[in-house]
Amino acid sequence: MRVLIIDDSKTMRSIVKSVIEPLGATAIEEAGDGKEALERAAAFRPDLVLVDWNMPIMSGLEFVVAFRATGSKTPVIMVTTEAEKPRVIEAIKAGVNNYAIKPFTPAGLTQIIESTLAKARSGARAA
């Protein structure tokens, strides 16, 4: 499984990485903002994207819109503190498959990643 982690904080990237590694990630690519992530995603072809919302240069939300515009169906999880209802709805409309609220526990994030992947797989089968 190839995972792209986008967060402007190196700390958060390493925390997310420590959660995703035991889940069978074979390759992990990191990006510090949405623009950088878009450039990397084209070559990296991730199976899963974990993206922060609040980032300089290009926000996570803008990234998701642009990423979906490339036609990618890769599951995207927004990892964010934005837990308010309008924000959550905004993110899902932009094309996010699921979201995780910061702060999280490793177990909590793992559960969200696993259920997102399971849902994406069953969706792919149905289609």
Partner 1 sequence: MRADSILDVLSKKVVLVEEDDLTLLVEIHDHLAQLRSGLDGPTAHPALEALAHAESLTEKLIQRSADDAAATLRDLRTRVDAIQRALGAAAGPAPATLSSQASDGPAVAQADHTGLLSTWLADCTHALNALEETLLAIESGVEVESHLTETRRKLHTLKGECGVLSLHTAQSVLHQAESAVDCAGSAPPGETTDALLAVVDWMRAYADRLGEAANAAPPDPDALLARLRTIPAGARPFAQAPERPPESHSANAPEDAPQPTEASGRQGAHVSFTVDPSMVDTLGEFLGEAREHLSRAEQALLELEQQPGEQELLNTVFRAFHTIKGVAGFMNLGPVVSLAHSVEFLLDAARAGKLALQPEHLSVVLQGRDLMDHMLSMMAGDAVPPIEIATLNALVAAIESLASGTPSTVPVPVSRDTHSDMTPPPPESAGDESPTMPTARQPGASPSSPPTVARQDVRRADQTVKVSTSRMDALVDMVGELVIGYQMIAQDPAIQTIAEQRSQRNLAMVGKIIRDLQEVSMSLRMVPIKGAFQRMARLVRDVSAKTGKRIEFRSEGDDVELDRNVVEEIADPLVHMVRNACDHGVEAADQRRAAGKPESGRITLRAFHSGGCIVVEIEDDGRGLSRDRILAKAIEKGIYAPDRPIAEISDAEVFDLVFLPGFSTAEKVTDISGRGVGMDVVRRNIEALRGKVEIRSTLGKGTVFSMRLPLTMAIIDGMVVRVGCERFVIPTLSIERTIIPKPQDLHTVAGYAEMALVRGDLLPIDDLAACLGRGQTATPAQSRVLVIVETKGGGAGSRACLAVDEIIGQQQVVIKSLGDAAPHVPGVSGGAILGDGRVALILDIAGVLRGAIAAAGQPSKEIAQ
Partner 2 sequence: MAATHHHIQAIVDATRSVCEMMLRLPVSFTSPRLTSTQSHDVQGIVGLSGDATGSVTIGLDRASAEALATALVGAPIKCGSSHCDDAIGELTNLIVGAAKTRFPEPDVRIGCPRVESPSTRSNGSPDGAQVTAFSCSIGDATMHIEVALRSLKPLAADPHAA
Q: In angstroms, rounded to a whole number, what is the distance separating the alpha carbons of residues 108 and 70?
A: 30
Using the rule CB under 8 A, is 54 a contact of partner 2? yes
Q: Which of 27, 39, 69, 81 binds partner 2 (CB under 8 A)?
A: 81
Q: In angstroms, rounded to a whole number, what is the distance separating the alpha carbons of residues 27 and 98?
A: 21
User: 15 to each of 3, 102, 118, how far by Cα in Å?
Assistant: 14, 11, 22
Min dist. Cβ of residue 89 to partner 1 (A):
5
Residues numbered 13 to 42 that lie near partner 2 (CB under 8 A) are: 14-15, 18
Q: Choose the binding region for partner 1 from 12-20, 23-31, 60-68, 89-97 (rule: CB under 8 A).
A: 89-97
CB under 5 to 8 A by kind: which of partner 1, partner 2, none does 45 bind?
none
Min dist. Cβ of residue 121 to partner 2 (A):
28
Q: In angstroms, rounded to a whole number, what is the distance separating the alpha carbons of residues 40 and 63?
A: 12
The dihedral over CA atoms of 20, 21, 26, 27, expressed in degrees to the nearest 10, equals 70
| 108 Cα distance to chain centroid | 15
Tracing tokens 């696993």 back to the chain, one arrives at 114
Binding site for partner 2 (CB under 8 A): 8-12, 14-15, 18, 54-56, 80-84, 102-105, 108
Q: Which residues would be at the binding site for partner 1 (CB under 8 A)? A: 83, 85, 88-89, 92-93, 96-99, 105-108, 110-111, 115, 119
